[in-house]
Amino acid sequence: QVHLVESGGGSVQAGGSLRLSCAVYGYTGSSYCLGWFRQAPGKEREVVAGIDSDGSISSADSVKGRFTISQDNAKTTLYLQMNSLKPEDTAMYYCAADYGPCTIVTMSTLAEYGYWGQGTQVTVSS
């Protein structure tokens, strides 16, 4: 059973940075999709960025140039480096995983992911 645990959320001022981490437990496959999603109050959950086992990356237009998705060398931890944060980035951030293969389209699709973490809150004040 795949288990995901996020950490690293918090409160920052606009222009600040945070790095989110997601520890991935129990995954046994060699092909996978990993993603970061977020959900603000009253809004639908949306994709932030995704990465697959081949290293292909996709990211939402709203975060390009500011957020970077990556993995550690052991591929057991997923990261989201968030720079130049804006108040509109305030949301609960979730990491997600599923067995691959995946495409640029599927790694950005919420319904494609079967495993989710509990979320970590990011609050950006102006």
Per-residue DSSP letters for 59-116? Answer: E-TTTTTTEEEEE-TTS-EEEEEE-S--GGG-EEEEEEEEES---TTGGG-GGG--EE
pLDDT by residue (tens digit) across 84-126?
999 999 999 999 999 988 888 888 898 889 999 999 999 999 9
Q: How many degrees, rounded to 5, is the angle at CA 121 between CA 14 and CA 42?
A: 90
Q: How many degrees, rounded to 5, is the angle at CA 99 between CA 98 and CA 104?
A: 75
pLDDT by residue (tens digit) across 38-88?
999 999 999 999 999 999 999 999 999 999 999 988 889 999 999 999 999
